[in-house]
Amino acid sequence: MNVRRMSRGKTIVIGVVVALAVGVAAVAGSASAGRTADTTLTAWTYDNQDPGLKPVLTQLSKNFEKSHPGVKINVLFKDFNAILATVGRALQSDSGPDLTQGNQGFQTDGALVKAKLILPLDKYAAKYNWVKLLGPGTTQQYRWSADGKQFGVGSTYGVAMTGQHVALFYNKAKLKELGINPATALSSLGGFQKALATARAKLPADEPVLMLGNKNGYEAAWLIWSVIGAISNPQALRDWVYQKDGATINRAPALTGFSMLQSWQKKGYFPSDVNALANADAAANFAKGSGVFFADGVWNAGTIKAGLKSAAGVAPMPPARKGGAPSAIGSTSGSWHISAKSKNPDLAAEWLNYVVTSPAAVKLMQSQQQIPAVVTAPAPKGDPYLAALVTSWKQLSKANGLTLFEDWASPTMLQTVSSQMQQLIAGKTTPKAAATALQKDWDKFHKTLR
């Protein structure tokens, strides 16, 4: 009968499918069942820049292996997006890393805490004195309630190596040429704006005054969040990031900041291709001598120094008034976590403490023009540029002036902010409409938390 033949055919199909699946699983199983006599710690990181943290992590792991016979540290350097897109599933599997970087905020760290994939590190934080070494304001960005719904409170789930804030880079030679006194230009927001106007009037029209590459859209937020932090209270911006009840961005400081961004665009301070220029290219252009000022992440400090050499200057973003408290958008580098499935959490914590706080780590980081997150680290000698970077990080940490990155506030905030910043610059929206759109995103996510 036809029907019987059909069902027999089906049976065979299913049989083969099952056989195939079992075969695949068997192969996969035998591949992962490798064994070593020694203890191996696997660590995933996106701090893969060289020069940067890659040589630091490599050297420190070698040191650690030497001082811990029988221990092997397997550091895997990956792309930032590759880690964020896969880290959750990797930690769920039985062959995931012992240590990994996540990313502060609800998108990654919040999700990992909620799924109970990473360990609370309170006991190690106490043992190794992390809160004191990094500062209580700084370590707040690793704290979560056990359900992953409250950010900035609860247990400490991570720790990180370097400070990564946005600072104001400037071209000393250009300032001199234009007759602008750096001390006045950098001491207050008013002085900074005057300097921008002076430079615009004197420079050829096709040369930008304030370098900015806003291709992704969040680069303009780096610039303007520092301004908003200066004219308001950084704590209000942090509360917004931490999703505190009642927090809102839709207030006067943000509206002033967004208007300022639009007026700077209208006055022609930015490059003409600002919305198409990538941050890395903006940094490269600035290093080649295009533009007078550049509000950029300290992670590009090396590039700028290599290009401008002795003309490279760096300062904290100017405060609202002369002598005011400094504020800047920023945080530490990506948070490190220990997997809930790690068989050696104590050893993992020991390695982590070694790469974050040890004198050897501090020295290696500074040799790569990186700012150690540890505020007790001594400023480097014989390198005024790096010393300025280190000092500005310490000042920000001590004054609690870091606004944290605005996109941590919700899983969708990065795209929302990026879109609104590009629209603001292109004149496609108003400061009020942009602030409303950001708050709408925030409110939508806030509802899912309560």
Binding site for another protein (CB under 8 A): 1-2, 5, 8-9, 12-13, 16-17, 20-21, 84-85, 88-89, 92, 107, 111-112, 114-115, 117, 215-217, 271-277, 411-412, 414-415, 418-420, 422-423, 426, 428
Work out how close the CB of 324 gets to another protein at its nearest, in angstroms, rounded to a whole number.
33
- At residue 332, the 3 state secondary structure works out as strand
Work out how close the CB of 428 gets to another protein at its nearest, in angstroms, rounded to a whole number.
6
Work out how close the CB of 419 gets to another protein at its nearest, in angstroms, rounded to a whole number.
5
Work out how close the CB of 68 gets to another protein at its nearest, in angstroms, rounded to a whole number.
32
Query: Is 8 or 309 the residue whose CB approaches another protein more closely?
Result: 8
Q: How far, rounded to the nearest angstrom, does the alpha carbon of residue 26 sit from its chain's CA centroid?
A: 40
Q: How far is Cα 142 from Cα 158, in angstroms, rounded to an integer?
A: 5
Residue 210 DSSP symbol: E
Work out how close the CB of 423 gets to another protein at its nearest, in angstroms, rounded to a whole number.
4
Name the amino acid, one letter, at 38: D
Work out how close the CB of 416 gets to another protein at its nearest, in angstroms, rounded to a whole number.
10
Q: How far is CA 274 from CA 73, 88, 220, 278, 410, in A?
A: 43, 35, 9, 8, 26
Query: Is 272 or 376 the residue whose CB approaches another protein more closely?
Result: 272
Contact 336, 99 (CB under 8 A): yes
Work out how close the CB of 361 gets to another protein at its nearest, in angstroms, rounded to a whole number.
31
Query: Is 395 or 415 the residue whose CB approaches another protein more closely?
Result: 415
Q: Using alpha carbons only, what angle is made at residue 164 by residues 161 and 166, rounded to the nearest 5 degrees?
A: 170
Which residue bears the tokens 């299913």? 14
Work out how close the CB of 223 gets to another protein at its nearest, in angstroms, rounded to a whole number.
16
Nearest-10 crossing angle of helices 189-202, 219-231? 130
Query: Is 13 or 197 the residue whose CB approaches another protein more closely?
Result: 13
Phi and psi at 145, nearest 5°, equal -70, 160
Query: Is 89 or 343 the residue whose CB approaches another protein more closely?
Result: 89
Q: How far is Cα 312 from Cα 306, in angstroms, rounded to an integer?
A: 9
Q: How far is Cα 336 from Cα 352, in angstroms, rounded to an integer?
A: 8
Which residue bears the tokens 């002369």? 322
Q: How far is Cα 139 from Cα 157, in angstroms, rounded to an integer?
A: 10
Query: Is 96 or 318 the residue whose CB approaches another protein more closely?
Result: 96
Which residue bears the tokens 């408290």? 325
Name the amino acid, one letter, at 92: Q
Query: Is 89 or 432 the residue whose CB approaches another protein more closely?
Result: 89
Q: Which two tokens stand for residue 74?
A: 């397997």
Work out how close the CB of 189 gets to another protein at its nearest, in angstroms, rounded to a whole number.
27
381: left (phi over 0), alpha (psi -120 to 50) or beta: beta
Q: How far is Cα 192 from Cα 50, in angstroms, rounded to an integer?
A: 33
DSSP letter string over 7-55?
HHHHHHHHHHHHHHHHHHHHHHHHHH----SSEEEEEEE----TTTHHH
Query: Is 58 or 415 the residue whose CB approaches another protein more closely?
Result: 415
Query: Is 206 or 381 the residue whose CB approaches another protein more closely?
Result: 206
Work out how close the CB of 26 gets to another protein at its nearest, in angstroms, rounded to a whole number.
15
Work out how close the CB of 114 gets to another protein at its nearest, in angstroms, rounded to a whole number.
6
- The enclosing H or E element of 352 equals helix 345-357
Which residue bears the tokens 């506030």? 409
Count of Cβ atoms closer than 10 Å to residue 381 Cβ: 9
Query: Is 134 or 211 the residue whose CB approaches another protein more closely?
Result: 211
Query: Is 82 or 252 the residue whose CB approaches another protein more closely?
Result: 82
Query: Is 268 or 411 the residue whose CB approaches another protein more closely?
Result: 411
Strand partners, 168: 295, 315
Work out how close the CB of 429 gets to another protein at its nearest, in angstroms, rounded to a whole number.
8
